A and B are shown apart, each in its own frame.
Chain A
Amino acid sequence: MADPLDDYIKAAAAALDLPLEAEWHSAIAANFAVTLKLANLVAEFPLPDEAEPAPIFKA
């Protein structure tokens, strides 16, 4: 069975017009998996709906 991340990476590369050469695929997939794991570690932390993001913007 194909890894769903592999399918995602191929589809995302096509949709976003990103180059994806065959020999890059495994390294990109590995990096994506690490980033997704860390992103989910953050996303699972409960925050109130009112928690606002922190980027600094000064009008």
Chain B
Amino acid sequence: MSEDLAWATASDIARAVASGAASALDVVDDALARIEERNPTLNGFTAITSDRARAQARAIDAKPDKASLPLAGVPFAVKNLFDVAGLATVAGSKINRARAKATRDSPLIEKLEAAGAVLVGALNMGEYAYDFTGENVHDGPSRNPHDTSRMTGGSSGGSGGAVAGGMVPLALGSDTNGSIRVPSSFCGTFGLKPTYGRLSRARSFPFVASLDHLGPFARAARDLALSYDAMQGFDAEDGACVDRPLEPATPELARGIAGLRIAIAGGYFQKGAFPEALEALARVAQAVGAKDVVEIPEAARARAAAYVITATEGAALHLDRLRKQARDFDPAVRDRLLAAAMVPATLVDKAQNFRRWYRDEVLKLFARYDAILAPATPCTAPKIGQQTFVIDGVELPVRPNVGIYTQPISFIGLPVVAVPVPLAPLPIAVQIIAAPWREDVALRIAQALEQTGAVAAPRPDL
């Protein structure tokens, strides 16, 4: 029973709990036991909310209408930048530990729990989300379940590790430049970064207001769709959240990919990729019959502009803390933010101007294609502590460069599903990029790929 639950999908668990074949309390107890057993190795959790989880599970078991709950009894955990009532929202930092405890959950937690899911804890992350490694100087690194000497990827490293390591079937993370897609790639999970403005970011600790997104990790495409559907809905508390009708993706999954026009990103998105990234891309392209190669124009400049906006908006967010508490930051984060605080505003405005031009150009591609495939990361998970790697013949620092393929996409808020290709010895993901507000298209393709076996969350040997 326990091993079955370790690898059960959220939809399997919800079906079992809704039908009465399993109790939510048993499922949650099982998850909590597994977290206790595996977390000392994987270091994915920074807080475990056992009492609250058991109370919520009992409440679900007592509900007469639990059959109508799409996530009945599904344990989940959230990156520790989400407000969780009773916990300080640390966002991977030492500084935020002094904050008052949150008095109310983030709206995405509230929505998942309204759908029957059960919060079991908060997850490790790179400090203030300015990270692609999953390492954290205060809490220690989250560790990759497929090889614990390797990175999970970041900054939602605990989210990737907790799902890939079988501790929870569902987790939430944030993605400013790739922080859902990078750990999905390194850990071999499915991850959804929705369209910018789709899901509420209220009561989560920000990083870069104009680039921040929240979204789910899971071990099946259907689980992404179920949780995403549960979290949709306008929220005036998030100034960027767009007031649109609910557009459920789960009912669309059965449509498959017939009629969808799918292209492969060439040029920038293949230059510098390690052989495993290209192998994963080729496998996915073949499985969906994609042959056309398109050039996403000026992607290198888009990545550069995203880098500049990220650094400077992040520095603005943290300016007061940099002035007063610089020694309390992770030194790597501090040095990047202090440097960014000195960048002239003229250059930031140039990056914002470019952003509009680039968005218009990329959207033209979606007149011809429904989705574009691209690598999620240039390589599989590096070793924890690895400082550099070689991209296109140039030795570069790992930390800021793992996201070279994700940054040009989130820069203009496009929805992406990262799908894991189970290469040996380590998985690596491919991005399925869709037009704004067409998460359903990316999720349909992910589900179809999963059905062919081309993509799957590989089970680690733990």
- Measured CB to CB, the residues of A under 8 A from B are 8-9, 12-13, 16-20, 24, 27-29, 31-32, 34-36, 38-43, 45, 47, 51-56, 58
**Inside 8 A of A39's CB, which chain B residues have their CB?**
304, 308, 343, 347-348, 350-351
Distance to closest chain A CB from B399 (angstroms): 11
**Inside 8 A of A52's CB, which chain B residues have their CB?**
353, 356
8 A-B pairs closest in CB distance: A53-B352, A31-B339, A38-B304, A39-B347, A32-B339, A12-B342, A27-B335, A54-B356
Task: Check if B311 is an interface residue, CB within 8 A of chain A.
Answer: yes
**Inside 8 A of A27's CB, which chain B residues have their CB?**
331-332, 335
Q: Which residue of B lies closest to A23 (CB)?
A: B331
**Inside 8 A of A51's CB, which chain B residues have their CB?**
353-354, 356-357
Q: List 11 A-B contacts (CB under 8 A).
A: A16-B342, A18-B323, A31-B338, A35-B340, A36-B347, A42-B351, A43-B347, A47-B354, A53-B349, A53-B352, A56-B240
Task: Check if B87 is an interface residue, CB within 8 A of chain A.
Answer: no
> Which residues of chain B from 395 to 430 have a CB within 8 Å of any chain A CB?
400, 412
Distance to closest chain A CB from B295 (angstroms): 16
Cβ contact within 8 Å between B336 and A31:
yes
Task: Check if B197 is an interface residue, CB within 8 A of chain A.
Answer: yes
Cβ contact within 8 Å between B357 and A47:
yes
Cβ contact within 8 Å between B339 and A45:
no
**Inside 8 A of B308's CB, which chain A residues have their CB?**
35, 38-39, 42
Question: A53-B356, A56-B197 are known contacts. Are A19 and B342 too (CB-CB below 8 A)?
Answer: no
Distance to closest chain B CB from A7 (angstroms): 12
Cβ contact within 8 Å between A20 and B304:
no
**Inside 8 A of A18's CB, which chain B residues have their CB?**
322-323, 338, 341-342
Task: Check if B389 is an interface residue, CB within 8 A of chain A.
Answer: no
Task: Check if B210 is an interface residue, CB within 8 A of chain A.
Answer: yes
Distance to closest chain A CB from B308 (angstroms): 5
CA distance A42 to B347 in the complex (A): 8
Cβ contact within 8 Å between B307 and A58:
no
CA distance A29 to B342 in the complex (A): 10
**Inside 8 A of B323's CB, which chain A residues have their CB?**
17-19
In the complex, besides A43-B347, A56-B210, 10 extra interface pairs with C-beta distance below 8 angstroms are A12-B341, A19-B322, A38-B304, A41-B300, A41-B304, A53-B349, A53-B352, A53-B353, A54-B412, A56-B196
Distance to closest chain A CB from B391 (angstroms): 14
Distance to closest chain B CB from A11 (angstroms): 9
